[in-house]
A and B are shown apart, each in its own frame.
Chain A
Amino acid sequence: MMSNIYGLDGEGENAAAVRAVRRGLGWDFIPATLDEARRAPRARVAVALRQKDSLLRPIRAPFGDLRKARRVLLSLLDMQLPFPVESCAVAVAELRAEGGETRGWAALARTEEITRVLAAWRAAGVDPDTLDQESLALWSEARRTLPGVRADAERLHVVAYLGHDRITFVLGRAGHLVAAHGLGMEARDQAVRVLKPYMGGGAAVWIFAGPAAATPDGEALRLAVTRAWPGEILPAPEPESFLARALARRQLSAGAYPCNFRSGDFAHERERERGVRRSWVGLAAVLAAGLLLIGVNAVWRSAAARREAAAQAELTRVTRLLAPLGAARGSEVMTARRVVEQESKRLEPVLQAGNPEALGTLRKLLDVAAEQGLIFETLRLRRDGLVQATGVAVDWRRAELSEREWAGQGIDLRMERRDEWADGHVVFNLSSGGKP
């Protein structure tokens, strides 16, 4: 997917090229050629605007609100520029709140310079995806590959990049960028003068890189600056492809001080397409989410409606069994109850005439009386539950026992002791209604 990633240092056919190759979980950077990058299908190429063709400006604002700082950024930069900021492309490489202030770095390039550089690369057969800024790329590579650059807070670190046509100095301390200067090769004798304001008599750490670092011109420059400010020299691995490697690596992971002038009006066609694709994908996602929500709701509603309709159908069916003419929705129970009650009332005489309950009651009365030795003198029984009787019991205990037995069989009667004979027999009255 990201196998054709190139970093190109220089312009046109003399450019040094590096290709990023996946190696295990990490990446390896191997030498490549411009022609290879030109012919690779869908190659992602990064190049850099030279320091001398662009600007790096510090951002300072007396408040720590980054959002506000972004809003006033162009005004802040405008004051530092000899030309209108509107004529530049601006890339914010760093913006951080620190001690109630906003600090950072912005990279700027005149739009005509960007147009010129892109036209030159296109003429060479390459349409770079990323147009980085040279000093930012150099500094981020130094931070990543040389641990001392970030760890050492005491000494100033200077990345001295020597190209065939230019010299670039990037200065920083404790990993933070301090300044950057670009000179044409013809002005190399100005290097000491340019660096002097930053050195302050302290020791510096030197990192020499670039394709011309090992040339006589490069050696001469090295001697000149290290004689002026002797210090440690950190050896950079493969110094000649240092910048190309930085550019390739920053495509994989932007790291510190990210920058790409190819945005907005200068965006790469592929980036534009990607933007459009992202827009379509976003649109599809929103559309799908909307449809999904509507679909889920529709399914849920229809399932609920189906269940409700099934319940209503069952209700109607059962109602029709009870009330053949049916009932208005919502009054099924009331209607069915009325019909059942009316029918029960209408048939009451028939049901009563067929009700054998009085015979059962009579049998229970006679059975218990025979069992307990009670003799009825008179007994009157009616279907509606009326019982009136008089009789004689052997003794009152038996009479009470009989009363309890009838109660146990569901016949509530009231036994009254009316008289007692000399031999212990008890005359009683029995009536329906249970104990008072």
Chain B
Amino acid sequence: MNHDRLLKVGWGVAGVLAAAGLLWSVGSCLDRAEPARRLARRAGDLRELQALQRVAAHREAGLERLRQPAAAGTNATTLAAMIRDGLGAVATTIKELDPPTAPEGWSLRRVKVNLKDINGDALGLLLAQLASNRPPWTVAECSLKASTRPGWMAEAELTLEQACAAEAPPPTQK
């Protein structure tokens, strides 16, 4: 009797387990695409994030160049010295302009340089030198007027900008 009851209980348990297993399997079978869909969605998200990472890394690389310790002048006086070194006795006026608002941790400078009667090649060399300065001077705007002398310019007006990290050590004064 006990044996029969045990068998009955066993069949009951086995039936419940088998039914549960079967139902779960059917559920899993019907739902089998969902985990793959979720994984695919996450993989897609990861790809987008990696693309954003590349954008941020590119931006950081640009900023990193500007964060390098200043090696040369970052003010009008040192800029004038650089121009003098590059062009010699050229009539030069340098005017400091109001810089655009700099984000926190950065400082910006903007100057307008007016050069009269200048050799074109010498101007090119000067601009290359300014660009390779640390931090670099870059051309925001330039306006050239030709001279009657071939290869020379009657006037060159340049708007230069420079950005550097605010915490960067003060530049060596030349």
Contacts and interface: CB of A to CB of B under 8 A. Distances in A.
Interface string B101-114: 11100101010000
A380 B136 contact: no
A72 to B, nearest CB: 31
B124 A378 contact: no
B18 A286 contact: yes
Contacts of A371: none
A123 interface: no
A336 B24 CA distance: 38
A332 B10 contact: no
A358 B158 CA distance: 11
Interface string A331-353: 01100110010011011011111
Interface stretch (A55-63, A144-152, A189-197, A289-297): A289-297
Contacts of B100: 349, 353
A379 B144 contact: yes
B71 interface: no
15 contacts: A279-B7, A294-B17, A301-B28, A336-B49, A336-B52, A349-B100, A349-B106, A350-B106, A354-B65, A354-B138, A356-B136, A356-B139, A359-B128, A377-B146, A381-B143
Contacts of A283: 7, 10-11, 14
B20 A352 contact: no
B143 A378 contact: yes
Contacts of A318: 46, 49-50, 53
Q: Is the interface of B mostly helix, strand, loop or mixed?
A: helix
Contact of A290 (B17, B52, B110, B139): B17
B88 interface: no
A280 B7 contact: yes
Nearest to A349: B100
A315 B7 contact: no
B46 A311 contact: yes
Contact of B141 (A349, A351, A381): A381
A314 interface: yes
Interface in A301-317: 301, 304, 307-308, 311-312, 314-315
A350 B142 contact: no
B49 A377 contact: no
B171 interface: no
Given A318-B49, A333-B45, A350-B106, A376 B21 contact: no
A314 B103 contact: no
Given A350-B103, A350-B108, A356-B139, 9 more contacts: A287-B10, A293-B18, A314-B46, A322-B53, A352-B140, A354-B62, A354-B138, A356-B136, A358-B141
B137 to A, nearest CB: 9
Nearest to B127: A359
Contacts of B136: 354, 356
Contact of B143 (A286, A291, A352, A379): A379
A295 to B, nearest CB: 8
B146 A297 contact: no
B52 A337 contact: yes
A382 interface: yes
Nearest to B157: A380
Given A293-B22, A346-B103, A377 B145 contact: yes
Nearest to A318: B49
B15 to A, nearest CB: 7
B122 interface: no
B55 A344 contact: yes
Interface in B137-162: 138-146, 150, 161-162
Nearest to B44: A333
A363 B24 contact: no
B52 A340 contact: yes
A291 B22 CA distance: 10
A354 B135 contact: yes
B42 interface: yes
A321 B163 contact: no
A349 B138 contact: no
B59 interface: yes
A375 interface: yes
Interface string B12-53: 011111111110110010000001001100110110111011
A315 B45 CA distance: 8
B39 A311 contact: yes
B145 to A, nearest CB: 6
B56 interface: yes
A337 B103 CA distance: 20
A380 B143 contact: yes
A115 to B, nearest CB: 24
B48 to A, nearest CB: 5
A379 B18 CA distance: 86
A337 B14 CA distance: 54
Nearest to B144: A379
Contact of B53 (A321, A375, A376): A321
B142 A381 contact: yes
A383 interface: yes
B142 A362 contact: yes
A297 B49 contact: no
B66 interface: yes
Nearest to B18: A290
A27 interface: no
Contacts of A253: none
Interface in B1-15: 3, 7, 10-11, 13-15
Contacts of A343: 56, 59
